[in-house]
Amino acid sequence: MALLNILQFPDPRLRIKAKPVTQVGDRVREIIRDMLETMYAAPGVGLAATQVNIHERIIVIDVSENHDQPMVFINPLIDTLDANLYSYDEGCLSVPGFYESVERPEHVIVRALDENGQSFELQPQGLLAVCIQHEIDHLNGKLFVDHISALKRNRIRAKLEKQQKSRL
Ligand code: GNR
Ligand code: NI
Residue 149 has pLDDT above 80, yes or no: yes
- The residues assigned a catalytic role are 135
pLDDT in tens, 44-55: 999 999 999 999
Q: Specify the ligand 1 atom closest to the Cα of 93.
A: 14
Residue type (1 letter), 78 = I
Give yes or no for residue 167 having a pLDDT over 90: no
Instruction: Give the atom of ligand 1 at the shortest distance from the alpha carbon of 42.
Output: 1
What's residue 44's pLDDT?
98
pLDDT for 1 equals 83
Nearest residue (CA) to ligand 1, atom 11:
92
Over the stretch 24-36, which tens digit does the pLDDT of each residue have?
999 999 999 999 9
What are 82-110's pLDDT values in tens digits? 999 999 999 999 999 999 999 999 999 99
Is residue 13 left, alpha or beta, with left meaning phi > 0 and alpha meaning psi from -120 to 50? alpha
CA 63 / ligand 1 centre spacing (Å): 10
Question: What's the whole-number average pLDDT of the chain?
Answer: 98
Residue of 9, 92, 94 to test ligand 1 pocket, by largest number of atoms within 8 Å of CB: 92
Tell me the whole-structure pTM to 2 decimals. 0.98
Residue type, 53: N
Q: Give the per-residue pLDDT at 127.
A: 97
Residue 120 C-alpha to ligand 2 middle, in angstroms? Answer: 23
Of 52, 119, 26, whose CA–CA distance to 60 is shortest?
52
